[in-house]
């Protein structure tokens, strides 16, 4: 299904093709309001809906949301059970919105660790949206970047053992082919909410040169105005990828002449 017409804001600079978000602060948001942590997770679902819809409308190519980390299984069983139930409900309730916006759902992580009912709901939504040609919404579930890399290396080692992969041919791009979703483009922008300054084992390989934006806003309060703040900040960045840009090269040349 085709998406709605693109309505991209003029930011005065580049626009990210792939946005990745570490959705943090649901529990803090609830605690500050005298509510249960699970109520914070429920409120966070509204932000997922609004940010997904806004990104699709703006013409973002990929949106990856860190929904449930491999480490999150260590949380209290009651909270984990509620999160898995919330995931099932979201998958069923949001199918109409995903279809309306032409969004394709993909999921990455050790998905077999999910409860069967949750995994079934995910797969059904992935299948339903597979023909859409708009933004890719990628949910990282039971995900850890170190696990992703380790799982990929295991598969590479097995292929090398079976003779289908020449170890001498291994490079960065061949490793990408063994990650959970090889078609995932590197994120241009990683957003983290709730003022935490760490990547938390999220897309470590893919985010090598991503621009990072941190806000003190907790995820349930992160909506389109806050997204636009992040996009404006990104538009003002100068992405070098380790190289020097024009004026930097000029400065270096002048310095070299002065010290010659």
Question: What is the residue extent of each domain of the chain?
Answer: 18-259
Q: Which pLDDT score, from 0 to 100, does residue 242 have?
A: 72
Q: Residue 61 and residue 229: Cα distance in Å, rounded?
A: 19
**pLDDT score of 244:** 59
Q: Single out the catalytic residue among 7, 10, 24, 26.
A: 24
Instruction: Catalytic residue, from 10, 46, 72, 112: name it.
Output: 72
Low-confidence stretches of the chain (pLDDT < 50) are 255, 257-260
26 is catalytic: no
pLDDT at 246: 60
| Catalytic (active site) residue 72 | yes
pLDDT value of residue 257? 46
Show the CA angle centred on residue 133, arms to residues 131 and 135, nearest 5°: 120
Distances (CA, A) of 242 to 18, 57, 80, 97, 199: 20, 32, 41, 40, 20
What are 211-252's pLDDT values in tens digits?
999 999 999 999 999 999 999 999 999 887 776 566 665 555
- pLDDT value of residue 260: 43
Would you state the pLDDT for residue 255? 47
Beta bridge partners of 69: 143
The answer to whether the CB of 187 falls within 8 A of the CB of 19 is: yes
With b for 16 or more beta-carbon neighbours within 10 A and e for fewer, the 17-29 pattern comes to ebbbbbbbbbbbb
- 29: closest CA among 215, 193, 220? 220
For 18-259, CATH number out of 3.30.300.30, 3.40.50.970, 3.40.1180.10, 3.30.1450.10 equals 3.40.1180.10
């Amino acid at each position: 299904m085709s998406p709605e017409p693109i309505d991209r804001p003029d930011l005065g600079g580049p626009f990210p093709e792939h946005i990745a978000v570490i959705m943090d602060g649901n529990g803090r948001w609830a605690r500050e309001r005298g509510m249960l942590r699970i109520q914070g997770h429920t409120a966070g679902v509204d932000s997922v809906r609004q940010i997904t819809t806004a990104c699709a409308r703006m013409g973002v190519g990929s949106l990856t949301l860190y929904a449930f980390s491999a480490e999150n299984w260590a949380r209290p069983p009651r909270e984990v059970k509620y999160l898995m139930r919330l995931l099932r409900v979201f998958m069923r309730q949001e199918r109409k919105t995903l279809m309306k916006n032409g969004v394709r759902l993909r999921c990455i992580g050790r998905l077999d660790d999910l409860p069967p009912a949750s995994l079934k709901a995910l797969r059904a939504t992935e299948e339903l949206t597979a023909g859409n040609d708009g933004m890719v919404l990628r949910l990282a579930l039971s995900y850890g970047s170190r696990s992703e890399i380790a799982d990929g290396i295991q598969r590479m080692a097995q292929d090398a053992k079976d003779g289908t992969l020449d170890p001498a041919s291994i490079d960065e791009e061949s490793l990408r082919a063994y990650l959970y979703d090889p078609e995932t483009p590197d994120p241009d922008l990683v957003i983290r909410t709730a003022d935490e300054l760490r990547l938390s084992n999220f897309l470590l390989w893919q985010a090598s040169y991503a621009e990072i934006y941190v806000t003190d806003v907790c995820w349930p309060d992160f909506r389109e105005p806050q997204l636009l703040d992040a996009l404006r900040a990104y538009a003002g960045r100068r992405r070098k990828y380790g190289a020097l840009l024009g004026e930097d090269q000029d400065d270096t040349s002048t310095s070299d002449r002065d010290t010659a």
